[in-house]
Structure 1
Amino acid sequence: MTQPTQMNAEVSVAVLRQWLADGSEIALLDVREHGQYGSGHLFYAVNAPYSVLEHRVPYLVPRRTVRIVLYAQGGDIARQAQQLLQDIGYTQVYVLAGGVKAWQQAGHNVFAGVNVPSKTFGELVEQHCHTPHIKAEDLAASQAAAESLLLLDGRPFEEYQKKTIPGAICCPNGELALRATTLMRTANAARIVVNCAGRTRSIIGAQTLINLGVPYEVVALENGTQGWFLEGLVLEQGAMRDGEAVQPDNVDVGVLQQQAQRMAQEVGVKLVTAAQLQQWLAESHRTTYVCDVRTTAEYTRNTLRVAKHTPGGQLVQATDHYIGTRGARIVLWDDLHVRSWVTASWLLQMGWDVTVLERDAGALLGCVPGVATDDLVGFELPHMTVEQLAASVRHNAAQLIDIRPSQQYRAAHLRGAQWSIRPHLRYATLKTNQLVVVIASDPYSAALAAKELQSLGVQQVCWHHGTTAQWLAAGLVLENSPDQPADDDCIDYVFFAHDRHEGNRQAALQYLAWETNLLQQVDELELQYFKVYVAP
C-alpha cells in the first residue's frame, strides 16, 4: 500500500525527469493560471490553474493515490495547491523544488503555447507521413476556377462559426471517418481539403482519411485559416453548415467499421470487453479513463454510466484537457465502432495505453443520459440576482470583485468593480466586514474565490452572474478599460494564441512559427513516447 507523502514533500528536477521516464503513472500539474502556463511550461505538464484547482484536478486526476508533482514559477502557489489537494484526499502530492526556474536553470526547455504534446505529434505525423497539403493561394485559385472540392473544417462548431474558409462544412476531426464519405458523395466532389485554424487538426484530419483508405484525393490546407488570412483572403464568419447532421447509411457504416478497425489494429490497438473493463475500474493501483468519443448530442442522449465525454478529434488535439495522468489506461467507446478505433489509432501512436471497448458494453455497464462535466461537481454559494445587485450598489452595501476572464473585464464591467483572480485576491482592496459580491462566469470559480476570501478574513461572500444587457436593464453603469488590467496582470490569457483570431497579423505569424518550430525544441525524454506509424 502506498504511503502518504509528508506535508511539504518536494522532488528535485533530476528526480522528476526520472519519474517522467519510468513508465509508471504520474500527474505533472502546472498550477499557474492559463496565461502563465502558456508563456512557458514543461512539455508534459497539464494546466490545473490554482483559481479552479479543486474543481479541475478531480476531473483530470481521478485516482487519489497517484503520484502528483505540482509546480509554479517558484514555490508559494505550488505549496498552497499541495495543501489544498491533500485536504481533498490526494496522498502522493509533491512540489517541484524551485519550480519552472529550477527546471530552466538545469538546462531544460520550457514550451510556450497550449496542447504542446498534441501539436508536436501533429508535426511528427506530417514529417513521417508526408501528409499532402495545399497552399491558401492555390486553394483560392481552385475555388475561383470552380473546381470540384469538398472543404471540411475539422474543428468544433463553435470554433468553425467564428471564422472558416468560405464554403467549408464543419466536420470535427473525430467525425471525419464516419461522415466524410457521405459528405463527399453528396457534394459529388473530386478532392477533400481539411482545414483548422493552424496546422495540427488539418494534418491529423487529412492523414486520418488517407490512413482510412478513402477513395478520394485528400489534402490538408497548409496553415489553416491563419494561412488564408495571411494571404489577404477573406474568411467567412457565422457559417452554419453542420456536417454532424449528415448521417451515413448502414452500408457505409459497415464498411467504415472494417476500415477503422484495420487502421487501428495495424498500429496495435486491441479490443476490450465490458467485463475486463469492470475489473480494471476496480483496481486501486491503476487509473482507467473511459471516454465516450461521439458527438455532444449523442453523449447527451445516452452514454455509459462510467464514461466522460471526450470528442475524438479534440481528445487527440488537446489530450491534456481531458487526461491528467500519464501512464494511465484510456478506454474509448463509440456505439458505431468507427470513431473509437480511429481515435485510438492516434492516441496509441502518441504513447498512450489505449484500447477500444466493445460496442454493446452498455448492457453490462449501464447507460444514462450524458451530463455536462461542470454539472458533476457541486459547490454551493449564495447567488445574488441582478435586481439585488443593483439595490446593493445603489446603497453602497457591497464590494464588487470581478473574476471573469480579464479580456471580458476589459471589454465591459460594472463601475467600481475590481478585477482579480484567485491567486491575487490577497492583493485586493477590501473591507473584511462588508459584503463582497464575486462576479463570475460560473459557480465553481466563484465558490473557490469565496473560499479564498474567507481565508483572508472576509465574513460575507455571495456571487453574481449576469450579462451586460441585464446590467444595463437594471440601471447599472458599465465601463470598459482596454488597458486594465495591464497585460502583465492578465495571467489568465495567452495573448499570441488568442489574438491571432482577432485579425492580429503578428500574432498569427508568431503562432505558426511556434507550431513549426516545436520539433527543434524537444529532447529525447519528450519524444520517447511518440511512435508514428507509416503504412508500408
Structure 2
Amino acid sequence: MTVPSVTPLQVRCALLLQDEIALLDVRHEAAFATGHPLFAANMQAERIALEAEMRLPRTDVPIVLYDAGEGLVPQAADRLAALGYTNVRQLDGGLQAWQAAGYELFQDVNSYAKAFGELVEQRRHTPSLPADEVANLIADKANIAVLDVRRFDEYVTMNIPGSVSVPGAELVLRAGRIAPDPETTIIVNCAGRTRSIIGTQSLINAGVANKVMALRNGTIGWTLANQRLEHGADRRGGIGLFEGAQTNAREVAYRAGVRHLSVTEAGALAAQTNRTLYRFDVRDALDYAAGHVAGFRHYPGGQLVQEIDMAAPVRGARILLTDDRSVRADMTASWLAQMGFETCVLEGGYDGALEVGPPVILPKPDLLQRYRRPYEGTDVDARAMQAYLDWEYGLVDQLRRDGTHGFSVI
C-alpha cells in the first residue's frame, strides 16, 4: 500500500496545538533510544498486532509512522490497516528529515517524563541529599525513613539498606503508616532521578508535616558513591494516611486542573468517540485483581507517570483514572495534568458489580531488541551510569530548545 505522508512541520504544528496525534517510532526499542522526537512513542513494527488495540484505543486516531531508513514503515502501516486503523500516515523523510528541519532528538526511553521531572525539580527546587549524607544518617541511626518508589521487583533486585518499598502513587496513601512521627525525615529514592523527584514533590504538595528529601541520583548515585546496596529485601509499607492527606491530594489535583466525574458523567465522556480516552486503574495489582471497574486497565500510578509514553502514546488524548481510595488517583492525575493531558478522576463506581482478575500484561520485547537502561541490574558500568545522569541534567535545556512540551508545573 502507498502510505500518505506529512511533513515534520505539520507534525510539530499538531504537537504545538495539542491536537491528537500518535507519533510512532516503529524501530526496535534499542534503536528508538538512540534518538527520537520528544513525544514519539515506540511501537515496534512486529509488535503492532500485540500492542495496538491496548495502546491505540480509537481506530481513526491520527497516526504518523517513521523509521530511520530501515524500510519498516510500509510493513507497520499494513499491519495497522489490517487491524482497522484508518488514519495512518508516514513522516516524510523519516527521522533524518525531522533532524534536518532543526528539530530536537531525545535519547533514552520515557524521555518526556524524565524531562518533566527535571523541570519540576528546577521550578519547585525539590530538596535532595547526596548519597554520602544519607549513608551517614543511616549509620548514625538518625530519625529517618527511606522510601523506595520503584516497582517492587526493582526494589527486590537492589535497594538502599533499610529502605521500605512504597511504589510511587502509594506514597501519600502509606507515608503516614511508615513515618507517623512528624519529626521523622522521609527520604525518597528511585534508581535515578525522575521517580524520586516526583515522589518527594508529591509528599510536599500533599502537605505532609515531615521534612521530605530525595536521595540525589537514586541507586545510581548510591553506587557511584561506593555505598553498599541490599539485595532480596521484602519490606513493604502498609496503608496509613497522614492527617489531611485525602483532602490535600484532592486540592492538589484541583490546582492542576483535574476534574472529578460521576459514573454518569464518565459515561458521557466515553461516549465522545471523536476523542481518544485512556482509562487507568492506578492502584496496586492486588487491589486491582480483587475487584476493578470494567473497562479500566491496570497501571500503577507512579509507573504511569514515568511511562506515560508507553501507556498513552496518543498525545492530546484524555485520561480518566480510578482508585477506590481516591488519593492515588488524585496525585497521579495532578502530575498527568501538569504534563499537558486533559485528566479526570472517576468518583465512585465501586458500589456495583466489579470485574475480578489479574492485570493484563504485555510481554516485553526480545532482550536483544530492548534498550538496557543504565539503572537496571547490578552490573552496569560506572561510566554508563554517570553518562545517564549527565544526560538527565541537560534535559531542561533541551526542552527549551525543542519548544513543544506545554508542561505547566504548579
Give the equivalent residue in structure 1 for 2:309: 320
Aligned partner (choices 195, 200, 208) of residue 206 of structure 1 = 200
Q: Normalized against structure 1, the TM-score is what?
A: 0.73
Deviation at 1:202, TM superposition (A): 0.8
Matched, 1:234 2:228: yes
Matched-pair contact (CA < 8 Å) for 1:496–1:508? no
| Structure 2 SS opposite 1:368 | coil
Aligned-pair identity (%):
38
| Structure 2 SS opposite 1:124 | helix
| Structure 1 SS opposite 2:235 | coil
Matched, 1:247 2:259: no
Name the CA distance, whole Å, in 2 between partners of 1:513 and 1:132. 19
What amino acid is the match of 1:268?
Answer: G
Deviation at 1:29, TM superposition (A): 0.8
Deviation at 1:21, TM superposition (A): 1.8
Matched-pair contact (CA < 8 Å) for 1:33–1:51? no
- RMSD between aligned residues: 2.0
Number of residue pairs the alignment of both structures matches: 409
Give the equivalent residue in structure 2 for 1:293: 282
Matched-pair contact (CA < 8 Å) for 1:303–1:369? yes
Matched-pair contact (CA < 8 Å) for 1:75–1:97? no
What amino acid is the match of 2:173?
Answer: L
Matched-pair contact (CA < 8 Å) for 1:176–1:209? yes
Give the equivalent residue in structure 2 for 1:346: 335
Aligned partner (choices 294, 300, 305) of residue 294 of structure 2 = 305
Deviation at 1:307, TM superposition (A): 0.3
Deviation at 1:195, TM superposition (A): 0.3
Matched-pair contact (CA < 8 Å) for 2:319–2:341? yes
Aligned partner (choices 369, 372, 396) of residue 359 of structure 2 = 372
Structure ID, larger Rg:
1
Give the equivalent residue in structure 1 for 2:154: 159
Deviation at 1:15, TM superposition (A): 1.4
Matched, 1:215 2:209: yes
| Structure 1 SS opposite 2:374 | helix
| Structure 2 SS opposite 1:95 | strand
Deviation at 1:493, TM superposition (A): 3.2
Name the CA distance, whole Å, in 2 between partners of 1:501 and 1:9. 46
Matched-pair contact (CA < 8 Å) for 2:59–2:85? yes
Deviation at 1:283, TM superposition (A): 2.1
What amino acid is the match of 1:300?
Answer: A
| Structure 1 SS opposite 2:159 | coil
Give the equivalent residue in structure 2 for 1:442: none
Deviation at 1:102, TM superposition (A): 1.1
Deviation at 1:370, TM superposition (A): 3.6
Name the CA distance, whole Å, in 1 between partners of 2:379 and 2:403. 32
Q: Please, which runs of 5 or more residues in structure 2 have no aligned partner? A: none
Give the equivalent residue in structure 2 for 1:168: 163
Matched, 1:51 2:46: yes
Name the CA distance, whole Å, in 2 between partners of 1:202 and 1:154. 7
Give the equivalent residue in structure 1 for 2:252: 263
Q: Normalized against structure 2, the TM-score is what?
A: 0.95
What amino acid is the match of 1:220?
Answer: A
What amino acid is the match of 1:323?
Answer: A
Deviation at 1:276, TM superposition (A): 1.3
Give the equivalent residue in structure 2 for 1:461: none
Name the CA distance, whole Å, in 2 between partners of 1:100 and 1:55. 24
Q: Residues 475-505 of structure 1: CA distance to partner in whole angstroms, max 9, x if unpaired?
A: xxxxxxxxxxxxxxxxx13246366742411
| Structure 1 SS opposite 2:319 | strand
Name the CA distance, whole Å, in 2 between partners of 1:494 and 1:504. 15
| Structure 2 SS opposite 1:367 | coil
Give the equivalent residue in structure 1 for 2:190: 196
Name the CA distance, whole Å, in 2 between partners of 1:158 and 1:526. 36
What amino acid is the match of 1:261?
Answer: R
Name the CA distance, whole Å, in 1 between partners of 2:375 and 2:247. 40
Aligned partner (choices 382, 391, 394) of residue 514 of structure 1 = 391
Name the CA distance, whole Å, in 2 between partners of 1:9 and 1:124. 36
Name the CA distance, whole Å, in 2 between partners of 1:305 and 1:526. 38
Name the CA distance, whole Å, in 2 between partners of 1:495 and 1:33. 12
Cα pair distance change 1:69/1:404, threshold 3 Å = closer
The 5 A counterparts of 1:62-81 are 62-74=57-69, 76-81=71-76
| Structure 1 SS opposite 2:99 | helix
Name the CA distance, whole Å, in 2 between partners of 1:493 and 1:289. 25
Give the equivalent residue in structure 2 for 1:275: 264
Deviation at 1:292, TM superposition (A): 0.4
Name the CA distance, whole Å, in 1 between partners of 2:393 and 2:36. 18
Give the equivalent residue in structure 2 for 1:414: none
Give the equivalent residue in structure 2 for 1:102: 97
Cα pair distance change 1:345/1:97, threshold 3 Å = same
> Structure with the greater relative contact order (CA < 8 A, sep ≥ 6): 1 or 2?
2
Name the CA distance, whole Å, in 1 between partners of 2:213 and 2:48. 41
Name the CA distance, whole Å, in 1 between partners of 2:8 and 2:143. 55
Name the CA distance, whole Å, in 1 between partners of 2:298 and 2:36. 26
Matched, 1:184 2:173: no
